[in-house]
Structure 1
Amino acid sequence: MRCTFRSGLVGSLMGLLVFSLSPAAFAAPPVAAATPSKAQAIVDAATHDAYKKAAFVKTGQRVAEVCASCHGLKGTSTTPDVPNMAAQNVNYVYEQLRKFSTGERSEGSHSKFMRGLTRAMSEDEKAAVADFYAQQSSIASRAPGAAAATGKAIYNTRCLKCHGDDGAGAESLPLIAGQQPGYLSMSLERYRKQTGTRLFAAMTKVMHGMTDQDMVALVDYVSSMH
């Protein structure tokens, strides 16, 4: 089947950027749960030949244009509490989009908007934009600060095992190197306080006993990684 971006969807998504979401946007049936490898399977199928790949790449670019006002044209946010998407892992992005669409991820001031936006997207469109971001280059959000050396020691003790020495993560774990400092701080605080919908036992364990000063140092280091 040819991979195309449905003509009415871009207009629909752009409308969401300007107008408030209608109640109907939240009444759609839940999207079926995806396995961590589903996004890559969609990407592989859509890029099997040059013709399909060109259409798939174009789809990802057009969806990313809708997301650019918050996440930047190539996935580098200019807002401290909005995450960078550039170079992010395909399956991780796809899974987060799925969770927004089902309401499994609902914390934060942007969650209602993201839920309506992702409900308007097809599975192919979610995978296409995830693949688009994965192809972009990441950059450090800021230069290392005074606490970066301390933060590196904390990272090596608490974070390296899952996120790697370069902060790249894995198939279902996020790239965190160079991430926006405000977003990192907000996420770590949620895990430390065990609030919101993104509770994860491994992160709860990592955050146990971490002080405010530790968090500042860790964010200083991670946001400057590249």
Structure 2
Amino acid sequence: MMSPNDPTRSASAPVAQDGARVCLSLSEINALCFKAARGSGLTWGEAEEAGWAAAWLTRAGLAGPSILLNWLKECDGLSCPMPEAGRWAARMRPLCPLRTGIALADHAGLPEGPGEDGLQIDSVAHPRLILPFVARAATRLDLPLRIGWVGAELTLDTAANGPITVSLGEDAGAPVDLWIAVVARPEPNEQQTDCAVPTKGIAFADWQALDALALRVTVPPSAGSRAGAGDAGDDND
């Protein structure tokens, strides 16, 4: 039986609130989702981006770990984008939101990226996961970017910092065609009327699923690993 402080755990065992949810800090969410993504077979770089994106979404009031988990269940069947000016078309399979988001931020300021003429991206699965990278692209451009798909539309701006203030519909993960455009920055005294309620904790079942994926990249403890831990030399001068 694994002890609560076993070093192979992704983190200390959280206590479920009301028997259904657990509370983690943003850094714990980042670490857990990073390890879970790596345990699902993503590269180290992709896994780091996934952990960061889950923490960003959580800070924005969305269920970042749950969004990430739903995507991880299908990421093997999704394709990489082929950036082109004006439109990124999906070929054969829906586009992966993480890899599409990374490419989108990397192409900010380039002809293939979002610009004055706008950008359409076809058939993106789990579109909420792309939001952190649109925000990163807005930061690199120092311009607000508006993103939308059927049933959702919001502006991400370098000057904004707080919960997302529009409804994004249900997180079904079904592929959507989305568009991104540069928009004018609102006046400083312009007030937003909609409010979002930040997510309260993580579903305990989702934490368990992410933790199980994270444990794939750990080494189970053994007598040999414990005996070999630490420096075998004498550091006394």
Does TM-score exceed 0.5, indicating one fold? no
Larger Rg computed on CA atoms? 2
Larger proportion of helix: 1
TM score, norm. by length of structure 2: 0.27
TM score, norm. by length of structure 1: 0.27
Larger proportion of strand: 2
